[in-house]
A and B are shown apart, each in its own frame.
Chain A
Amino acid sequence: MTNLSPANEPSLVDEAEAEEVARDRAGGAPRSGWRMLLPTMTPWLAVGLVLVGVITLFGIFGPYLVGDPRQIRDIGLTPPSADFLLGTTQTGQDVLAQLAYATRGSLQIGLLVGVLATALSAFFGIYGAYRGGFADEAFSLLSNVFLVIPGLPLVIVISGFVPRESRGLWTIAVVLAVTSWAASARVLRAQTLSVRNRDYVAASKVSGEKPWRVIVVEILPNLLPVIASQFVFAVIAAILGEAGLSFIGLGASNSATLGTMLFYAQNGFALSLGAWWWFVPPGLVIALFGMGLSLINFSIDEIINPKLKNLRQHRRRARKAARLERELARAHRRSRPQEPDAVREADGAKEVSAR
């Protein structure tokens, strides 16, 4: 150490920094790490959450409120009435009851596949990229292979191969998950490659963190928005994929889903008989659920890409400024024209809004 005396240490420099601290503190309460991960509330997000929430609640509690969906009556194909809110099928089964059970089945499979596919993609994407070398090469070869396999034909082949009796919910979920994780794994791999070379990862290694802690505590949180978005997308894809499979008669044998409802509606000539109450509700639930999840996904995108958020904030700020200006101009007109304070105020506001 040379001539740096400790006496001059709390110098101007530190005061300048102290000022910065004070200014930062005025900026508002600190947000915790988890809080930062949540998307900001927007009309789109609200609509998405309401749609997904209502359909989920319907799927969870609906089956308790309706009768037996399999009960056959001698009133085939009755349009919606007070007794049967969504009418009946060809064999007199209650469509509303079927819809409730089918929604539950579809949500189950969506959630199951979402979790499985996300876990697979996280493992192959993050672990491979973090380890590098041979593990990375092997894992990315594997995900590349799965990426180029045409998904739907493979799903059809696998589902057709498994005998109908043993083709349960889990079989379908595993088949859908195995064919849908690869794209997400590649995105996660790219993201991990970028994150693992950041200084804070090196710093935590230098402090002596164990590899699994570096991955789980230091790297993973920074990938959470991406993973959340992929999860939501995987759920949509799974519900649609399962509906497609069931529609062509290759779905799970022991469960009722929206796809099987459509399958029976198709088989019962609902379309040609004009029984819209049979095929519109399940189609609508699929469409609305997909739309709700997509809207949520857009909001998650804003966390991944903050530019989108800034764009919205800019627009809002511009609108607010314009409103302020209009109000001040109105106030100015109402007050006496020679009032100097009002003039100055209005000018000030104009300056603010111009910025």
Chain B
Amino acid sequence: MTRVHVSDLVKDYSIRTGLRRSRLRAVDHVSLDLVPGRTVALVGESGSGKSTIAKILTRMEKPTSGTVDVRLDDDTPVQGSLYRRQVQMVFQDPFASLNPFHSIEHHVARPLRIHQRTRTAQETHERVVEMLERVNLTPAEDIAPRRPHELSGGQRQRVAIARALAPGAQVLIADEPVSMLDVSIRLGVLNLLGRLQREDRLAVLYITHDLATARHFSDEIVVLYRGRVVERGPADAVILDPHHDYTKLLATAAPDPERVDRVSLTQEGTDRGDIDNSVCYDHFAGEWQEAGVPAAQARGGAAARSTS
């Protein structure tokens, strides 16, 4: 069992336009916790910093400031190659995340070999077949020698999940794992992720822009807007009782077939107006907090400035 404590994560990108340099703050003091057996959904529009957080968590990017603290049950910090074994990621686009040159077996076998989960070729092959069967890719013996272009999007994403779990990962970062898939396949892949999470007691960070699947799939929702957390809380509370203007906007932007009186979509849900991302509603604390500041200062800071 592994837990992740992310605190005050900041990521700045420097942008050069001609001679002028400017700074873009992609992630601004984001804190969150990933606990075994629970799913945290990170919701927000494109450019809100979701994928940057995923990249920092998988150590593809270094944070400008802030810490990612991963610890095992006995409180030993996870570092070095152990980090790669513990924290794995499922990428958004299954058509891009598998190397077209290599077989499915290669994709699942490599993590096993790198992290010395298996020793002999025979053992590796057996383990690969076992992994493929776990993600419902049957008959696995038949699928293993194939190459990615021979599989459908859903099957590829299953391979990507098998690859992520192959090193024995306890923390799974799923970056919009179903957004590129056919609607009819999405539920299957999400159910698979859910089952694996229950079986292995994984800590999952589910990154999405889709509130419906976020509520369906996760226990806690963190809403991100322009790099800052603007609302967080239990999944149902955030969806059913949104406090922040941006969350309300997201909720109304999702088409709801039950609503008869809805205004045309072109008017509704597109008007950004002047949404304030300096405050954050925390459903756990039941109060407004200041966003974009270190966690220690946030509490109570925005109570006076709250808009509602």
Task: Answer whether residue B12 sits at the interface, using C-beta atoms and an 8 A cutoff.
Answer: no
Task: Answer whether residue B188 sits at the interface, using C-beta atoms and an 8 A cutoff.
Answer: yes
- Measured in the bound complex, the distance between the Cα atoms of B185 and A16 in whole Å is 8
- Measured in the bound complex, the distance between the Cα atoms of B147 and A173 in whole Å is 40
Task: Answer whether residue B145 sits at the interface, using C-beta atoms and an 8 A cutoff.
Answer: yes
* Interchain Cβ contacts under 8 Å between A and B, 6 examples: A4-B190, A4-B217, A9-B192, A17-B188, A199-B92, A218-B99
Residues of chain A in range 21-77 having any CB-CB distance to chain B below 8 Å: 21, 24-25, 27, 30-33, 36
Q: Which residues of B contact A14 (CB under 8 A)?
A: 136, 188
Q: Which residues of B contact A208 (CB under 8 A)?
A: 81, 84-85, 111, 114-115, 167
- Measured in the bound complex, the distance between the Cα atoms of B163 and A202 in whole Å is 13
B91 lies within 8 A of A209 (CB): no
A4 lies within 8 A of B150 (CB): no
- Measured in the bound complex, the distance between the Cα atoms of B155 and A13 in whole Å is 12
Q: Which residues of B contact A32 (CB under 8 A)?
A: 103, 145, 147
- Measured in the bound complex, the distance between the Cα atoms of B88 and A69 in whole Å is 67
Instruction: Using A11-B188, A13-B187 as known contacts, list a sample of 11 further A-B pairs with CB atoms less than 8 Å apart, ordered by residue number in A.
Output: A1-B219, A16-B184, A17-B185, A24-B152, A33-B103, A203-B89, A207-B84, A207-B88, A208-B81, A208-B167, A218-B99
Partner of B152 from the list A4, A20, A203, A222 (CB cut-off 8 Å) is A20
B100 lies within 8 A of A222 (CB): yes
Q: Mark A149-182, 1 if CB is under 8 A from B, else 0.
A: 0000000000000000000000000000000000
Q: Which residues of B contact A269 (CB under 8 A)?
A: none
Q: Which residues of B contact A6 (CB under 8 A)?
A: 191, 195, 198
A206 lies within 8 A of B89 (CB): yes
Q: Which residues of A contact B93 (CB under 8 A)?
A: 199
B96 lies within 8 A of A200 (CB): yes
B60 lies within 8 A of A204 (CB): no
Q: Interface size of B by Cβ–Cβ distance < 8 Å?
A: 56
B219 lies within 8 A of A2 (CB): yes
A199 lies within 8 A of B85 (CB): no
Which B residue sits closest to A8, measured CB to CB?
B191
What is A's interface to B at a CB cutoff of 8 Å? 1-2, 4, 6, 8-9, 11, 13-14, 16-17, 20-21, 24-25, 27, 30-33, 36, 198-200, 202-209, 217-218, 221-222
Q: Which residues of A contact B152 (CB under 8 A)?
A: 17, 20-21, 24
A24 lies within 8 A of B110 (CB): no
Q: Smallest Cβ distance from B91 to chain A, in angstroms?
A: 5
Most B CB within 10 A of own CB, among A32, A36, A203, A204: A203
Q: Which residues of B contact A199 (CB under 8 A)?
A: 91-93, 96-97
Q: Which residues of A contact B284 (CB under 8 A)?
A: none
- Measured in the bound complex, the distance between the Cα atoms of B94 and A200 in whole Å is 9
- Measured in the bound complex, the distance between the Cα atoms of B100 and A11 in whole Å is 29
A21 lies within 8 A of B91 (CB): no
- Measured in the bound complex, the distance between the Cα atoms of B98 and A203 in whole Å is 8
A1 lies within 8 A of B194 (CB): yes
Q: Smallest Cβ distance from B119 to chain A, in angstroms?
A: 17
Q: Smallest Cβ distance from A295 to chain B, in angstroms?
A: 25
Q: Which residues of A contact B184 (CB under 8 A)?
A: 13, 16
Q: Which residues of A contact B212 (CB under 8 A)?
A: none
Q: Which residues of A contact B217 (CB under 8 A)?
A: 1-2, 4
Q: Which residues of A contact B163 (CB under 8 A)?
A: 203, 207
Which B residue sits closest to A15, measured CB to CB?
B188
Partner of B235 from the list A2, A17, A203 (CB cut-off 8 Å) is A2
Partner of B60 from the list A9, A200, A202, A209 (CB cut-off 8 Å) is A202
Partner of A198 from the list B81, B96, B192 (CB cut-off 8 Å) is B96
A20 lies within 8 A of B155 (CB): yes
Q: Which residues of A contact B166 (CB under 8 A)?
A: 207
A204 lies within 8 A of B99 (CB): yes
- Measured in the bound complex, the distance between the Cα atoms of B99 and A13 in whole Å is 26
A1 lies within 8 A of B39 (CB): yes
Known: A14-B188, A36-B147. A207 touches B110 (CB 8 A): yes
B60 lies within 8 A of A4 (CB): no
Most B CB within 10 A of own CB, among A11, A14, A205: A14
- Measured in the bound complex, the distance between the Cα atoms of B91 and A8 in whole Å is 26
8 A-B pairs with least C-beta separation? A208-B84, A13-B188, A199-B97, A199-B96, A221-B101, A200-B99, A207-B111, A30-B146
Which B residue sits closest to A9, measured CB to CB?
B191
Q: Which residues of B contact A27 (CB under 8 A)?
A: 150
Q: Which residues of B contact A9 (CB under 8 A)?
A: 188, 191-192, 195
Which A residue sits closest to B155, measured CB to CB?
A17
A1 lies within 8 A of B197 (CB): yes
Q: Which residues of B contact A13 (CB under 8 A)?
A: 184-185, 187-188
Task: Answer whether residue B254 sits at the interface, using C-beta atoms and an 8 A cutoff.
Answer: no
Task: Answer whether residue B67 sits at the interface, using C-beta atoms and an 8 A cutoff.
Answer: no
Task: Answer whether residue B142 sits at the interface, using C-beta atoms and an 8 A cutoff.
Answer: yes
Most B CB within 10 A of own CB, among A1, A21, A32: A1
Which B residue sits closest to A223, measured CB to CB?
B101
- Measured in the bound complex, the distance between the Cα atoms of B92 and A20 in whole Å is 21
Q: Which residues of B contact A36 (CB under 8 A)?
A: 101, 147
Q: Which residues of B contact A221 (CB under 8 A)?
A: 99, 101-102
- Measured in the bound complex, the distance between the Cα atoms of B108 and A204 in whole Å is 11
- Measured in the bound complex, the distance between the Cα atoms of B192 and A222 in whole Å is 31
Q: Smallest Cβ distance from B71 to chain A, in angstroms?
A: 20
Task: Answer whether residue B20 sits at the interface, using C-beta atoms and an 8 A cutoff.
Answer: no
- Measured in the bound complex, the distance between the Cα atoms of B12 and A96 in whole Å is 72
Partner of A17 from the list B84, B154, B190 (CB cut-off 8 Å) is B154
Q: Which residues of A contact B111 (CB under 8 A)?
A: 207-208
- Measured in the bound complex, the distance between the Cα atoms of B191 and A9 in whole Å is 7
Q: Which residues of B contact A217 (CB under 8 A)?
A: 102
Q: Which residues of A contact B98 (CB under 8 A)?
A: 200, 203
